[in-house]
């Protein structure tokens, strides 16, 4: 999920790809943000990119 977030995908697209509801994605992302010590998606995405996530050419960005 963090890989998809780092690739810049919207919550609805992440949900569709993982066959989850948008609410579940948001809940899971909130948990991830807490564990990473970040306050929002932008900070999480930047941190993930710094560690090499999200740069594998995710197809179908929206």
Q: What CATH number does residue 8 fall under? A: 1.10.10.10
What pLDDT is stored for residue 55 in this prediction?
Answer: 72
- Does the pLDDT of residue 31 top 90, yes or no? yes
Average per-residue pLDDT for the chain? 90
pLDDT band of 15, cuts 50, 70, 90: very high
- Does the pLDDT of residue 57 top 80, yes or no? no
**pTM exceeds 0.95 for this model:** no
Specify if 59 maps to a domain. no
10 in the Ramachandran plot: left (φ > 0), alpha (ψ -120 to 50) or beta? beta
Range of the domain at 16: 2-50
Specify if 45 maps to a domain. yes
Residue with tokens 């930047």: 46
What pLDDT is stored for residue 54 in this prediction?
Answer: 81
């Amino acid at each position: 999920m963090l890989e998809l977030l780092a690739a810049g995908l919207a919550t609805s697209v992440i949900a569709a790809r993982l066959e989850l509801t948008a609410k579940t994605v948001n809940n899971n992302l909130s948990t991830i943000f807490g564990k990473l010590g970040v306050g929002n998606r932008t900070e999480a995405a930047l941190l993930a990119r710094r560690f090499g996530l999200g740069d594998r050419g995710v197809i179908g960005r929206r």
